[in-house]
Structures are given as structure tokens and as C-alpha cells.
Structure 1
Amino acid sequence: MTCSAPHLRLSPLAVAVRCGFGLCLVGLAPAAVAQTEEVTEEVTDVGSDTMVVSATALKVETPLAETPRPVSVVDQEELEERNVQQLDETFRYRAGVLAGMYGSDNNTDWFKVRGFDQSTYQDGLRLYREGYYQWLPEPYGLERVEVFKGPSSILYGEAPPGGLINAISKRPTDEPFGQIQVQAGNRDHRQVGVDVSAPLSEDVRYRIVTVYKERDGDLNDTHNDRYYIAPSLEWDISDDTQLTVLASLQKDDGVPTNAFKLPYGTVDDTPFGHVDPQTNYGEPGYDRDQRTQAAIGYEFSHAFNDTWSFEQDFRYSDLDLDLRSTYITTYPPVTSGRTGPRGHLQRNGEIESYTVDNRVIGKWYTDRTENTLLIGVDYQDLSLEGKEFDDFAYDTIDLFNPQHGNYTPITDDQMTDRAIDKNQTGIYVQDQFRLDDHWVFLGGVRYDMADTDNVNETTGVKERADDNQVSWSGGVMYLSDIGLNPYLSYTESFEPITAVDDGGSLYEPREGKQWELGVKYAPVGWDGYVTLALYDIEESNTLVTSPQGIQVQEGERQSQGVEIESVGYLTDNLRLTAAYTYADAELENGDRAPLIPRHMASTWLDYAFTGGLHGLKVGAGLRYVGETVDGDTTVDDYTVGDVMASYDINRHWRAQVNVSNVTDEEYVASCDYWCYYGESRSVIGSLTYNF
């Protein structure tokens, strides 16, 4: 797959026009809508600390129990309790999200949401992940992660129909806080993290989060080292105006973990037995993965009065990548013998992006109604300039006893120069209308204008796409007195694809639509929730993997399913997290979509002791993934278990141990032309000092 992202070629005047358009709306909006009556706003008690207030679903802070959109949240406490090391470990115990289908990858986070790929955002702004140019959020720098399930183009522009992941960065705290954490574990895991926050004055606060971590990959002779620092500053300019500045710098250096295996030797028997899960078909002495990612941005908010406010989010980011990767190929297919073909790819380039989102929010009330109007303009500009190389018939290797070191280095004159520029402007309107504290009506519309230029600078061939799209959404929810809230919603998605096909041509935009019927239950007096959702998603211009192992665009894809999810306290000390997913994902020809299981289920229990064992907390969970199919290949279901234990030695010190795949289960996680073993057992011990 070829990857790309745009290079900023935007004049200062254009930036001013696009960023200032939201400010123009602020000036016009009060004249367009008048507040009919001054009514004191009432804060609704949703009865649950677990069903949190979030802005991901509506871009306006709203209790999730009162939102006709499905969002699941993993907060900082849970991230720490399960010692999440990669973003794709976050939602192992939530419904509708599949992770780990490609095993443990040290340079990419892999998710499938409701049977589709997803977009990744950080602090409400998109992270550009084009092909092999992958932006990787560091979990130690996050205070929570949210998944918005289903199409989300109405507020976020281009997005796949499955959903999006929104990672929220750690922010400055009102009270002084400090933490030093040291970790060690198997696969030579070493990590040191420092997190410090304090006020600089009555109105200004800062926070600095730093991490150094190193760990071997799940394949032989692979590893990754990471340096990370994220300073942030929060300034209360006035009672009505606040500015938060967020920055980060991260450097990764390692040998990529290519988990690709063949069906031959994994799910299929051979005269030579099965391939060991840790077998590395790459070239450790030649392959490398070096990336540096940096970002700086801000969140600005200003309240003009009790009715109108303005918010603006901005981020500039830069990702520099030097990737060499050797991998096993599936074409021609191997059905006998000991050797298999290898491919080799290289990417050496830089992605640069600017993103700005302007929002005007109006709220007004009457005796019976509450209305929240959101008007927004966002702009995204990205560019990629770099060199690339792909050879799908690089050489061959012994599948059962690979010998490394016999490779031919790629010279610079074999590389292709690639430049991709993309910009997108979106205008959106959303209105949330609440009637008699029982009915919530939601409606929205968005218009996107997206332009993409893809230039092979070596051959001079240029591809251009101009895509305009209107997206709609709507929903209705009934808020009952007992906290049982049924809802019905409709949403659409639109996704221009920056990558090109094997012939160098741009793909057509993917489009999706979803109907969803669900209910959210968050009774007063219980710290917990239960949700049930039934959904039907259709996507056109679907990307699928061809028998040659390349991405082609053909036909439609449909995903129908049921999701049940619950997080809550059974007693004051015992908390249960449980999820079940049924997903029927099919391609246009009626075949089941590869990678997607019909059934997934998970449950996690944690218990905090009191009395003589006060400070001790233990937890354990099971994750079940049903069988998957890839053409004539069937991958068996599997179940893995995770455990943890922590002990608060005193108010400063905590010791903790986490074990995932506690029995070291050996299993094939999925097949999609290639096959992938699941991650082996992981053991990590932590010692944390809080001050």
C-alpha cells in the first residue's frame, strides 16, 4: 500500500479566512437567534460516575446516558489498572471493538470498530495515518480514550463508517501533583515515566509528562525504543476565556515486527510441522523503523454571555519516517515445500499537517425546552513528500528455519519520489433539542470539500481528485424517570482515500450510512451503566485485499450487529466490566468479511480489599473471540485471560503486576491472505511513587 499526506501550501490570508470564519459566525449568530426567555439551567443527575460527560459524540459536553450516539470510555484509572502499553489494547473489554487481530505490532495500532477500520483522533483533531506513516499516541500521556461507534462524518469530516478513536491528552491539574514510575517485564521491557503538574500562578498551570521505554517485539530480533515528552500549559485568561497549549515530541527507533505468516504452517498442516509464532521472516540486520513525531497546538474557549460561546482547536504536526521492512508474501501461494517468497518495502519521507476546528455554541431555555445549537467550520491540510520502494518478489526464505543476512540493499535510484497534497474544508450545523426533560431530538448536516493531488515525481504522472459531499445525521431519545433511555439514530460517513492503488491511481471515496436502535440504562443511585445497541451499516467503494495481497476497491460491504456493554460496581469494592458483540459483516458477493468474528465476549472483575488487606486490589478477565473465515480458510476461536494485582504500600508508593495471556496460549488470531499469531504472554511489574 502506498501512503501519503499533504504538505502545507496555505497562504497566511487563507489561514486567516478559514480560522476567522468561525469568528464571523459568532458575530452573526446572536442576531440570528434571540434568547426567548431567561431560565436557570438545571444540571441533570445521571446517577452514574461511570456514564461520564463527554464531548466526543456531539462536540458539546453531554452526559453519555443522554446522547443518542454510542460512545465507550476508558478512563485513566482503567488505563493504569490494566497497564495499557499500546493504544490498541485500550478497548479489549468493550463491545464492538476488535483489536489484536494482527498480533502484537510495535509500529502500528490496529482496531476494527463494528467490522470496519477506524480513524484515530487526539483531543478532537485527526491524527493522520497514511499507509505506513503511522502516528502513535503514547498511553502514558493520556488521561482517557473514547471510541465513537458508527459513522461520524457529521462532526469530524472524513471518517470510515465503523467509528473513530479519540485519545485525550493529560492536562495541567489545579493541585500540585507528581509521579515517578518504573517498570520492568519480559521481552526485556524497561520503562521510566515522570509526570509533574503544578500551578505557576493563580491563573496559570503547567504539566510535563516524559517517558523512556524499550521492549523486544513478539518476533525474534525485533524491538522498539521510545523517548517521549509532552509539556502543556493552561491559562485562565479571564472568567470567560481559557487557553490550553498542548505539545509533544516522540522518537521511536527499532526493528519492525512483521507478524505476517502464511496459512501454510499456521492453520494448515505441513510435513515440517507448524511455524513457531516468534519466527521472523524479516531482515533484522537491514530492516529498521525510525520515526520522529512532533506536535503543537491549542484549545481556546470564550463565553460571550450566558447564551453564546466560541471554541477553537488547532494543531500542527510533523512525522518523519525512515522505514525498511521485509516480509513474507502470499503470491504465488505456498502449499508445499520449505521456502516462501518475500517482499520488501521502504518509505523515507515526511508528513506535515495543520488542522483547525472552529465552533460557535448557543444554548437557550424556556420552561419546557433546552436547545443547544452548534455551528462549525473545520479545515485540514496535510502533505507527504518522500521516497518509496516496493518489491513483491524480493527473494525467498526457509519458512521453518529462516536464515538472515543474505539480502540485496536497495539503492537510492531504485526509489520513487512521491508527493501527496490534500486539503478539506467542512461546514457543519447540529441542533440538540430537549423537551420536558424527557425527549432529546438531534439533527445535523455537513458539507465537505476535499481536494487530493497525488504526484509520482519520478515519472511525472499526476492524479487529482475533487470530492464534495453532504452528510446527514439525526436521532431521538426518550429519557425515562428510571434511567432507561431508548434511542434511534441515523448517521452517514464520507472518506476520501489519500493512498493509491497498485497502478498509482487514487481510490474513490468510501461512503457509509448506519441505522441504530439502542437503549442506555444508568439508574440513579448505581455507579454503573448497561447499554444495548442494534446497528446496520452499509459501505460503498470498499477496499479489499486481492489474491496478490494488494488493496483493491470493489463493491459494497455490510455489517449488522448487536452490542451489549456494562461497567459498574456490584458492591462498594467489586466492579464488573462485561461486553458481548455479535457482528455479521459481509462483502458484496455474500462472503463473510475476513478478520471479523461473529461473536466476541469479555468480562473483567476487580476487587479492592478492606480491613487488614486494605490497599490490595486484584483483577482478572477473560477475552473470547469467535472463529473467523478468509475464503476457504477457517480460523478457530480462542480465549485468553489477563490478571493484575496492585498494593498501595502507603499514600506515596504503589506496586503492581500485570499479566496478559496468562496461560501463554498459542493461537492464530486471524487470517486475511496472511495469517497472524496472537500476542504471547506479557508480564510487567510497576513501582510508582506519587508526590
Structure 2
Amino acid sequence: MTVSGQRARSFSSRSVQVGTFRDQDPLDVPLTNNAVTREVLDAQGARTLYEALRNTAGVTRSQLNGSTYDNISIRGILVENRGNHRLNGSLPVINLVEVPLENKERVEVLKGASSLYYGILPPSGIVNYVTKRATATPVTSLTTSVNNHGGADVHADIGRRFGTEDDMGLRVNVAGGRVENGIEDVTGERSMASLAWDWTVSPAVKLKFDLEHYRKNVSEPTAWLVPLPLPRVPDNTQNLGSEWQRYKAEATNALLRADISLSDSWLLTLEAGRARTVRDRRLSMFTLSDPASGTGTVTQAFADDQTFTNNNQRAELAGRFSTGSIAHELTAGITRNRRHDDWLNYPNGTISRQNIDHPVELPRQELPASNGSTDTKIVDRGLYVSDRVILSERWQVLAGLRHTDYRYDSVIVSPTNPPATRYKTRHTTPNYSVLFKANESLSFYVSYLKGLEETPQPTRPAYSNEGEFLPPAVSTQKELGVKARVARELLLQAAVFDIDRQQTTSVPSGPSTKALILAGRSRYRGLELSASGELSPSWALIASAQLLDAEITETRIANELDKTPENTPKHTFSLFAEHKVAAVPGWSVNAGVYHVGKRYVNNANTGRIGSYTTLSVGTRYATRFNDLPVTVQANLDNATDRDYWSTTGNGLLGTGLPRTLRVAAKFDF
């Protein structure tokens, strides 16, 4: 086993905690991986997932504008909210309520197909949340903040080690406050509490336990149904809905891990976790009927009593051995995830008239009687093995296989009374990589991966084959990259990638009906660049860029062939830099620029939202007040207060958030 350390305050990380690459140096990972460290999150005053991942190439919002939670895409491919988000590299948390960052040490992204370790998932990538843990240095801090819209919160962070040899550690985080983001009639509150516990039972046995509970109750602004031609961008504070249209959700995640050293060369890891999210939602959608007068209608939808649960277990054996002069680092494991989703179905509410130039208060609508229910159980079992074959000091070959046993059981009770859907499949998918380490600070790699992902289940009224389960889609990924660590602590990465992905398409099923089938394909080819770390004692940066060529290569819909998949920009870039002012010890200034290119609103490419660039600026000052360490800071996002469409996808549009000034003070006791 390799143990590596990193500088306490850095814009780059010397280890990753995701997939089969846990605790490895990024230079030894033959895929594109990015880490947004605690130092970056603190410097930017980041509070949400997108605020963290805007520093990562190819990340865009999808469908939602972020007022409730962050729905994202990577490389133009949607990040699935019930499988692609992981806690400490393992537990699939359910990203349907804003995941708090106060208790996270960093947020990582492993891009591309990740089926070897995580099962049936889209090839967009894994978002991994690494929790804070107790360190040798005691932590007691209190942070308060306010913004110019009236939002305010407070956060306490306490960490201690116990025992005669500090063999036990506990880190507790508690936060809460009022939510105000500047959009009209969007108000609410959020709270979170977490603990991270670890215990070195003996030199051979270590335990870790994480528990977090968080909730959010906020008004959800009305989404736009895509009108064609697209109208002008509305004011970024406008909301065509009302305050009573609430999004209420809460989540509880628990993860227990045991690391058992069987010998100096072999480690057994056992993990078990559970993630549960419940929510009630009043989602409304605006349809523009007359662009000249700005008139249209708002349709109210109800999504109450929804429950989403993941129960996840993993047993993994990792170790080293040699065959002659060749060294092997072998990882073999078995994993099982049982997903259970259930909710009541409700008819849409009444339609209300609305006007984009003169919005009116919408009449309050009560929850109607349910007209059915949905109960889905998915069990994803996997056996996997991977071997890092170290041929010499410079050459390494990685090979892996995963055998997946996937079972799906869904019952939809509705007026159409479709039969229960039961489906099972088994697949074996390979992963291969070759890595060349020119020296300790420079590596080159090439990788080939196959993955599986779920396909959407057809529903009425859009499709006649409601309830039918479509087989998992197969994706193939090729990637060629180089990584280097230069200057003080600057990690550079460059990669070209090619992802070929099956997708669904619709075909006629009758004179006026259509069915959804798995018969399409899309291809994503791109170049990705990133840099993160310190240039000098006074300069640090995190930067990224992506050039992407994506097209639909197979489809049964003629006007979609050779078109660009929806919500897929041809380019994105970001740059955030911080400068420590030498003349004033403890003072630093920073600025960030974030750009997303134009994106089509549908696969037929009949309309597209414009590109946008936003600017952020900030400053922070660390000093002492009566011997108490204090850090005060201010961060201004969307500094130019630009109006822009920030998101599209699934027939929806959303605007960017207004200019926001956040002022915070942190006290370290």
C-alpha cells in the first residue's frame, strides 16, 4: 500500500479517492480526473456542486438553474442523479436535494465510463464527495455569512482525535440558514449535520463511519418549456411562478468501512452504506404562446411522497505479488446495490395565464388525489477484477473485467394499467490501459473502456409502449492523455477522448403513435486541458478547457441524424486565480472567468441558446483579533449581472442566477 501526503493548503491534490484508483497519485490514473480542493472551495466561497465543478472542463447545467439542486452534464452526457454521485468513493448518494459542501474536503470528478467499479452508469463520469476527517491538529471553527439578497447562514466545524495514541477521531459539522438567491419569490431554508468517525482498532484493523443528514425547503422557480423561435433572455431575477410552489427534500446518508490488513501485502476492505432521499415538489412549466405580447400559460405538476433509496455493499481484496520480475497490484471485489424508488402519481393542476412582461401572482393550487403509483426495484450486482501489471519502472499495463448481473422490477399502477415490468440481463465489460511514466512527474497513458447504462423507460402520453424496459445501452471509450507535475505544485493534464454511445430513438407504432426503442447512437470526440496548483508562493490557479465534437450518428428520426446532441457545447473554459499580496500578510485577491459555448435545445437542432461568460471576483484577509484567528472574505459572482440562458435539456430552459455578493467571517478557536 502507498501512503502519500499533500500540502495543507493547495489548489491541487496528490491523491484521488474514486473507483479502483483510491489513494493513488493522479499521475498514476489512466483517465481524466479533476479535484476541486477545500482551498479552492474556500477561496471561491463555493456553496453548491455547480459552483465547485464550474472549475472543471465540460461541466454544464442541465434542465434546472440550480435553485433547488444542481443537475449537471459532463462532456454533453447527463450525470445520473441516483448512481453517478458517490460519497467517499463508494456509496451512491441521491442528488435530488442540494448536497452540502461544508463537511467536504474536496469534490472529485473521474470522467468517462466507470462501469468496472460502479456498475451500470452513463459514461459522463463519477462525482465523488470526500468528507472532512479529524486530523492531528484540533479544529474548532465558526463561519457566518450573508448575501445581498437577504440570505444568511452559520456553520460550525469541530474535529478532535482521542485516545492515548490518537487512535480515534471525530469530525462534526453543523450548518443552517435562510436561502435567498435574488430570484423573485424564491425563498426558503436549508440545514445539515454530519459526523465522520474513525478508529484504529489495531495496527491491522481500521474503521471509518460517515453519517450526514441535510434538508432544503425552497420555492422552485417556474421552468420554461422550450419555445421556437427562442425569445429574448428574461431578466435574471424574474420568476413566472409563486412562492407557494415549494421544493421540499431531505436526505440521510450513512457509510461504514472496515480496512483489514491480512498481511504486509494484502488488504481486505468491507463497506456497507445506505442513502435515502424523500421529497415533495410543486414543479411548474411555462409555455409561451404569443412572443409579441409575452403571454402564455403555466402548467402546475405535483410530485409529492417520493422516496429514493440505495442500499450498497462491497467486499474488496487488494494486494501485491510478483511473477518473476513482473509486479502485480491486484484488486478483486464483489458489489451489490439495491435501488428502490416509489412514489404516487398525480394529475397536473389547472393551467394559469401568465405574462413575461407583466408577471402576476398565480392562484394557489392544492394537492389533488393521486391517480396511480410507481414502485421500482433495481438490483445491480457485480464481480470485478483489475490488475496493474508493473513491467518496469516506466511501463505499466492495467486490465480489468466486470461481470454485471442486473435485475429490474417495476410496477406502474395507472388508468392504462400496464403490466408489471421485469427484466434481467448479464454482461461482461472490459477495461484496458497502458501507462508510461517518463519520470516521477510525467506520465502518458492510453485507455480503452466499455460500459453499460440504463435506458429511459417509455411513458404515456409520449410513447405507446409504456412500461416496457429497454436493454442497457453499451458505450465504448478511448482516451489518450498526458499528465505532469511542474513548478511548485502545479498539476497539468491533457487528453483526447472518443466516446461511442448507444441511445434511444422513437419509431412509429401506429397511425398516430410512436414507441421508444434502443436503436440510436451518438459519438463524442474532444480535447480536454486542465491545470491546478501553485505557480509560486504568491500565485495559485485552477483552469480548464474543452473542445468537443459531438454528433448523433444513428437514429430513426431523420431530422436528428448528424446533429449535435442537446445541451452539448462545442467548447467550455474556466480560469480562477488567487494572488497573495506580499505587502499585506494574510491578504489575497482572486478572480475567475467561466465560459460555456452555445448549446442546442433539442436533438433536431432547431434552436440553440447563446454562449455566455461570467466573471467572479473576491478577496479574503486572515488576521488575529485578541489572539483569535479570523478570516474575513467577500465574493461577487456574476459580477456584471449578465442575463443569460444557463441551462437546457429535456425540453426545458432556465436562466442564470443574478449577481450575488456574499460576505463571510470565519473564527478559529
Aligned to 2:67: 106
Q: 1:688 aligns with which of 648, 666, 669?
A: 666
1:88-125 alpha-carbon deviations (Å, 9 max, x no partner): 211212223224x5564222212211111122111123
Which amino acid counterpart does residue 311 of structure 1 have in structure 2? Answer: T
Output the CA distance in 2 between the equivalents of 1:157 and 1:221: 41
Q: Which amino acid aligns with 1:649?
A: T
492 and 383 in structure 1: CA distance in 2 versus 1, 3 angstrom threshold: same
Q: 1:251 to 1:578 in 2, by over 3 A?
A: closer
180, 185, 190: which one pairs with 1:226?
190
Q: Distance in 2 between matches of 1:134 and 1:206?
A: 28
Q: What is the CA-CA distance between 1:244 and the residue it aligns to? A: 0.9
1:465 counterpart = 2:423: yes
1:242 match: 206
Give the gaps of 5 or more residues in structure 2: 461-465, 554-560
Distance 1:415 1:171 in 2: 47
Q: Could you say what secondary structure the match of 1:563 adopts?
A: strand
Q: Give the counterpart of 2:590 among 614, 619, 640.
A: 619
Counterpart position of 1:519:
482
Local SS of the residue matching 2:212: strand
Q: 1:511 to 1:201 in 2, by over 3 A?
A: same
Change (3 A) 1:574 1:429: same
Give the direction of change, closer, same or farther, for the CA distance of 1:678–1:618 in structure 2 (3 Å limit).
Answer: same
> Contact 1:478–1:486 (CA<8 Å) still a contact in 2?
yes
Q: TM-score when scaled to structure 1?
A: 0.86
**1:593 aligned partner:** 565
| Per-residue deviation, 1:171 | 1.8
Counterpart contact for 1:542–1:557, Cα < 8 Å? no
2:655 equivalent in structure 1: 677
Task: Tell me which residue corresponds to 2:557.
Answer: none
Higher relative contact order (Cα pairs below 8 Å, separated by 6+ residues): 1
Structure 2 CA distance, aligned partners of 1:671 and 1:392?
24
1:666 aligns with 2:627: no
Among 370, 378, 381, the alignment partner of 2:338 is 381
Aligned to 2:634: 657
| TM-score for the superposition, normalised by structure 2 | 0.88
- The separation in 2 between residues aligned to 1:329 and 1:552, in whole angstroms, is 28
Map 1:154-193 onto structure 2 (within 5 A). 154-193=116-155
Residue 5 of structure 1 is matched in structure 2 by none
Moved more, 658-667 or 631-640: 631-640
Q: How does 1:144-543 map to 2 (within 5 A)?
A: 144-202=106-164, 203-260=167-224, 262-263=226-227, 267-268=230-231, 275-285=234-244, 287-329=245-287, 337-347=293-303, 348-365=305-322, 368-391=325-348, 394-406=351-363, 408-412=365-369, 414-458=370-414, 459=417, 461-481=419-439, 483-497=441-455, 500-502=458-460, 503-523=466-486, 526-542=488-504
* Structure 1 residue 290, shift from structure 2 partner: 1.5
SS at match of 2:202: coil
Which amino acid counterpart does residue 346 of structure 2 have in structure 1?
F
Partners in 1 of 2:525 and 2:615 — Cα distance?
A: 28
Q: Deviation at 1:309?
A: 1.0
CA contact (8 A) 2:183 2:657 kept: no
Q: SS where residue 90 of structure 1 aligns?
A: helix
The one-character-per-residue Cα deviations of 1:615-656 (angstroms, maximum 9, x if unpaired) are: 001111111222223323232222111111000012611001
- Relative distance call for 1:476 and 1:289 in structure 2 (3 A) is same
Distance 2:418 2:610 in 1: 48
The corresponding residue for 1:83 is 45
Contact 2:228/2:607, CA 8 A, preserved across alignment: no
Letter in 1 for 2:657: E
Shift of 1:378: 0.5
CA distance 1:82–1:199, change in 2 (3 Å)? same
Deviations 1:126-181 (A, max 9, x none): 4354xxx7143201111111000110001111211111101112222233211100
Q: Distance in 1 between matches of 2:128 and 2:159?
A: 23
* 1:191-218 alpha-carbon deviations (Å, 9 max, x no partner): 1000101123232221110000221245
- 2:402 maps to a residue whose letter is R
Count of residues in Structure 1 that have an aligned counterpart in Structure 2: 633
The superposition leaves residues 249-279 of structure 1 with CA deviations (integer Å, 9 ceiling, x where unpaired) of 11221212344364469x435xxxx633332
Verify the 8 A CA contact 1:219 1:259 in the aligned structure 2.
Answer: no
Q: Is 1:578 aligned to 2:539, yes or no?
A: no
- The C-alpha deviation readout for 1:642-688, integer Å capped at 9, x for no partner, is 11100001261100111111111112234444332222212111100
- 3-state SS of paired residue (1:139): coil
Question: How far is the alpha carbon of 1:409 from its aligned partner?
Answer: 3.0
Match of 1:52 among 2, 7, 14: 14
Q: Which residue of 2 aligns with 1:35?
A: none
Detail structure 1 runs of 4+ shifted over 6 Å in the superposition.
41-49, 550-553
Distance 1:43 1:276 in 2: 51
Q: Aligned partner of 1:663: which letter?
A: T
Task: Indicate yes or no: 2:26 matched with 1:64.
Answer: yes
Q: Cα deviations across residues 490-541 of structure 1 (Å, max 9, x unaligned)?
A: 1122122575533344444232110011111124x63112111000001112
Contact 1:103 1:259 in 2 (8 A): yes
SS in 2 for 1:158: coil
Aligned to 1:648: 622
SS at match of 1:275: coil
Query: 1:581 deviation in Å?
Result: 0.5
When residues 326 and 45 of structure 1 are mapped into structure 2, their CA distance, relative to the original with a 3 A threshold, is closer
Please state whether the residue corresponding to 1:411 is helix, strand or coil. Answer: coil
Q: Which amino acid aligns with 2:219?
A: V
Return closer, same or farther for 1:191/1:599 CA change in 2, 3 Å cut-off.
same
- The amino acid of 2:591's aligned partner reads A
Give 1:318's aligned amino acid: R
CA distance in 2, matches of 1:56, 1:581: 22
Q: Which AA in structure 1 matches 2:581?
A: F
Instruction: Report the 3-state secondary structure (helix = DSSP H, G, I; strand = E; otherwise coil) of the residue aligned with 2:176.
Output: strand
Moved more, 667-676 or 178-187: 667-676
Whole-angstrom CA distance in 1 between matches of 2:156 and 2:324: 50
Using the alignment, how far apart are the partners of 2:267 and 2:260 within structure 1?
6
1:379 deviation in Å?
Answer: 0.5
Code of the aligned partner of 1:343: T
Query: Deviation of residue 185 (structure 1)?
Result: 0.5
Which has the higher mean CA deviation after the structures are superposed, 448-457 or 472-481? 448-457
Give the Cα–Cα distance (whole angstroms) in 2 for the partners of residues 45 and 181 of structure 1: 27
The worse-fitting range, judged by mean Cα deviation, of 120-129 and 613-622 is 120-129
Q: Which residue of 1 aligns with 2:556?
A: none
Distance across 2 between alignment mates of 1:94 and 1:424: 29
